Amino acid sequence: MSLELDGVERAYGDATALRGIDLTVRDGEFFTLVGPSGCGKTTTLRCIAGLEAPDAGAVRFDGTDVSGVPPEKRNVGVVFQEYALFPTMTVRENVAYGLQFDPPEGGSVDTRVDEMLALVDLGEMGERNPDALSGGQRQRVALARALAPAPDVLLLDEPLSALDARLRDELRLELKRVQRELGVTTVYVTHDQAEALAVSDRLAVLHDGRVEQDGEPESVYESPETRFVAEFLGENNCLDGRAVGGETGGSTVHVGSEAFDVHGDYRGPVTCCVRPESLDVNATHNRFEARVTDAEFLGDAYRVHFDWNGRPLVARLNDAPTGRVTLGFDPVDAVVLERRGSDSGRDADS
């Protein structure tokens, strides 16, 4: 089942939650909506589920407008952050719940429940009550319950956010495995950019009720089109400056008193974005001096904070240097964003 949102708008009184959401989710895809709190992720999910009616625009399932179709007829399964299991029912009864309205074709409810419990690795837990399970196990039950009626679309709203970090990592792998095994089209909501990068076939970064950018995790990470995306997905050092064209397909970006070589032909106000992992003490290009202000040990590397003429910078380095250090970066590793309109007014550095 493919999904399409076309210009979806939704307001609550004066508060506009969605300002025109356009996106396509392909059949069988694990698609993530990621963005900061209040950007419209849950509202988008609720519009897909039919729990919310858009003020304008259309939601289509396999090309068909579903605006007149109530939630229970859309054949979607939903898992929310809070477990929302029935506390007085056993795990089996919880998973069987959706099947009483929609019995499995050609099989018994019991068989289907067994399959689902095996799928989420809870085969032994069927007779327990939810309060005798861990948080992670409860979310597995919620997933099994959502999947039991064989939905065309699975909607997951921050399903892992109540769990501790290790369990979250474990369960997101599990979630991905189950999704792949069933091939069910899935829309996953999270505010956690690392989770979005790790789990998605494709993702959309939402900002203020709009899709700021969508694509495969690697391509959005490596080629952000806006400063918001550059800074939201992973860390970034975004330096405002002014570009002048060069002669060999490259340009020079002036930031304060420094001049950095970058690839591509740019002129005028730009933002030069360099990832922490692209800053290197051994780099041969674009070298400049900065003062170490702090360092955090990450296990496999250090996250080192610098002050560079009053600007904070962050680098991921193998060692934790102190004092003044020379850093540099390869021109190919800088993403250059053109600044336009009011954005270019912030050009205090050039």
Positions touching ligand ATP (CB under 6 A) are 12, 15, 17, 35, 37-43, 191
Query: What is the smallest separation between the CB atom of 207 and ligand ATP, expressed in angstroms?
Result: 10
- The least CB distance from residue 302 to ligand ATP, in Å, is 31
Query: In the complex, what is the shortest distance from the CB of residue 67 to ligand ATP, in angstroms, rounded to a whole number?
Result: 19
Do residues 253 and 272 touch, judged by C-beta distance below 8 A?
Answer: yes
Residue placing its CB nearer to ligand ATP in the complex, 17 or 279: 17
Q: Quick one: 37 or 322, whose CB is closer to ligand ATP? A: 37
Q: In what order do the strands lie in the sheet with 302-308?
A: 311-317, 302-308, 288-297, 324-327
Do residues 139 and 163 touch, judged by C-beta distance below 8 A? yes
In the complex with ligand ATP, the residue whose CB is nearer, 42 or 200, is: 42
Of the candidates 280, 294, 289, which has an alpha carbon nearest to the alpha carbon of residue 328? 280
The label of the residue with tokens 């519009």 reads 47
Nearest to 151 by CA among 203, 107, 189, 116: 116
Give CA–CA dist 53/21, Å, rounded: 13
Q: Which residue blocks in 148-260 are alpha helix, DSSP H?
A: 165-182, 193-199, 217-222, 227-232
Q: How far apart are CA 68 and CA 53, in angstroms?
A: 9
Output the smallest distance, CB 141 to ligand ATP, in A: 23
Q: Compare residues 41 and 202 and give the one whose CB is closer to ligand ATP.
A: 41
CB of 188 to ligand ATP, least distance (A): 12
